[in-house]
């Protein structure tokens, strides 16, 4: 039996590239059932509650499995989500998209309740965060992956939020949908060049969540169909990759009429978000 401190320093010595300082801390927090880093600090000299589980986790991490898949959960802003390898690991950039969306929705719709649509919803991170923080009437999430929809539903139950998750290809959803939404948020697959993707991401995350050919495919499908899903006054929030900016400007000019749009940068100074407003 070892203390948390002994395990921490032993693991630090391993110099495995995936077993970073913060990952070791996350693992220790999890196996001890601590709530946060402060709990770990307070109990650093105490015995680790579940060393067997910890070393099982360490083996998986050393094999390159992202720690979020090993722990089967992830913090996303102020919510905690269950995840598994059927869905994309929610990214920091998507947290930023949610914060931008929250601020703009509050400003534009004031205190009015909105109908919100999350296309390509994955774990449900975007719709769950926004349904927690925005006054909503109907919230719908759509994803083609049944496993992701199951997870999103589990997350919804745990967080006690009211979102309807539908397992459908967005193309079919557009055909069958009968509700008009005020807000659309979407982080679709948009990578077209496999060579730009990190080895660990490529090996462990679902390719269906990553790749689109051409990269602007999903944006074009949405722009072609927006009248079937959106009210006459609407706002759309998209996560994008910087290299798609020119294509997206072109698609907006082809498909959308009288809109205002803006691109915003992420914390790494890359153009990452597209916001389109129709007043």
Ligand X SMILES: C[S@@+](CC[C@H](N)C(=O)[O-])C[C@H]1O[C@@H](n2cnc3c(N)ncnc32)[C@H](O)[C@@H]1O
Residue in 4, 32, 68, 94 binding ligand X, rule: CB under 6 A: 94
Residue in 98, 122, 161, 237 binding ligand X, rule: CB under 6 A: 122
Residue in 144, 163, 184, 274 binding ligand X, rule: CB under 6 A: 144
In the complex, minimum distance from the CB of residue 133 to ligand X, in angstroms, rounded to a whole number = 16
For ligand X, give the closer residue by CB, 34 or 67.
67
In the complex, minimum distance from the CB of residue 170 to ligand X, in angstroms, rounded to a whole number = 4
Q: Are 5 and 12 in contact (CB under 8 A)?
A: no
For ligand X, give the closer residue by CB, 49 or 275.
275
Torsions phi, psi for 74 (to 5 deg): -155, 145
Helices 51-62 and 4-13 cross at an angle (nearest 10°) of 20
Residue at shortest CB range from ligand X: 122
Size of the site for ligand X (CB under 6 A): 22
Assess 90 for contact with ligand X (CB under 6 A).
yes
For ligand X, give the closer residue by CB, 5 or 133.
133
Q: Are 64 and 204 in contact (CB under 8 A)?
A: yes
In the complex, minimum distance from the CB of residue 35 to ligand X, in angstroms, rounded to a whole number = 24
For ligand X, give the closer residue by CB, 189 or 215.
189
Residue in 4, 96, 121, 131 binding ligand X, rule: CB under 6 A: 121
Q: Are 190 and 214 in contact (CB under 8 A)?
A: no
Binding part of the chain for ligand X, among 19-27, 29-37, 114-122, 249-257 by CB under 6 A, reads 114-122
User: What span, in angstroms and rounded, lies between the C-alpha atoms of 201 and 210?
Assistant: 9
For ligand X, give the closer residue by CB, 19 or 130.
130
Whole-Å CA distances, 41 to 1, 3, 12, 25: 19, 12, 16, 10
DSSP 101-168: HHHHHHHHHTT--EEEEEES-TTSHHHHHHHHHS-EEEEEEEES-HHHHHHHHHHHHHHT---EEEES
In the complex, minimum distance from the CB of residue 24 to ligand X, in angstroms, rounded to a whole number = 25
Site for ligand X in 195-224 (CB under 6 A): 208-209
H helices within the chain, ranges in order?
4-13, 21-31, 37-42, 51-62, 67-71, 92-109, 125-133, 146-159, 170-176, 199-204, 207-210, 217-225, 245-255
Handedness of CA 176, 182, 185, 190 (dihedral sign): positive
x/- letters, 157..196, toward ligand X (CB under 6 A): ------------xx----------------xxx-------
Which residues of this chain interact with ligand X, rule CB under 6 A? 87-88, 90, 94, 120-123, 125-126, 142-145, 148, 169-170, 187-189, 208-209
């Amino acid at each position: 039996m070892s203390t948390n401190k002994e395990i921490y320093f032993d693991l630090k010595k391993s110099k495995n590239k995936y077993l970073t300082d913060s990952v070791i801390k996350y693992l220790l927090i999890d196996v001890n059932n601590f709530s946060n880093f402060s709990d770990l600090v307070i109990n650093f000299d105490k015995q680790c509650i579940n060393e067997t589980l910890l070393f099982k986790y360490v083996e998986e991490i050393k094999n390159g499995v992202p720690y979020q898949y090993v722990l089967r959960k992830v913090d996303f802003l102020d919510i905690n989500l269950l995840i598994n390898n059927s869905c994309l690991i929610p990214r920091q950039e998507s947290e930023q998209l949610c914060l931008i969306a929250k601020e703009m929705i509050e400003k534009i719709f004031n205190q009015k309740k909105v109908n919100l649509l999350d296309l390509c919803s994955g774990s449900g991170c975007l719709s769950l965060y926004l349904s927690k923080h925005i006054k909503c009437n109907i919230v719908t999430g759509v994803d083609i992956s049944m496993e992701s929809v199951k997870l999103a539903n589990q997350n919804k139950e745990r967080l006690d939020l009211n979102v309807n998750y539908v397992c459908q290809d967005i193309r079919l959803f557009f055909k069958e949908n009968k509700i008009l939404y005020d807000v659309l948020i979407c982080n679709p697959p948009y990578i077209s060049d496999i060579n730009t993707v990190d080895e660990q991401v490529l090996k462990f995350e679902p390719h269906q969540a990553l790749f689109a050919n051409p990269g602007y495919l999903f944006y074009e499908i949405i722009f072609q169909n927006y009248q079937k899903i959106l009210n006459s006054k609407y706002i759309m929030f998209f996560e994008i990759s910087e290299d798609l900016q020119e294509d997206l400007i072109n698609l907006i000019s082809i498909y959308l009429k009288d809109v205002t749009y803006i691109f915003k940068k992420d914390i790494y100074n890359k153009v990452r978000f597209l916001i389109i407003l129709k007043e």
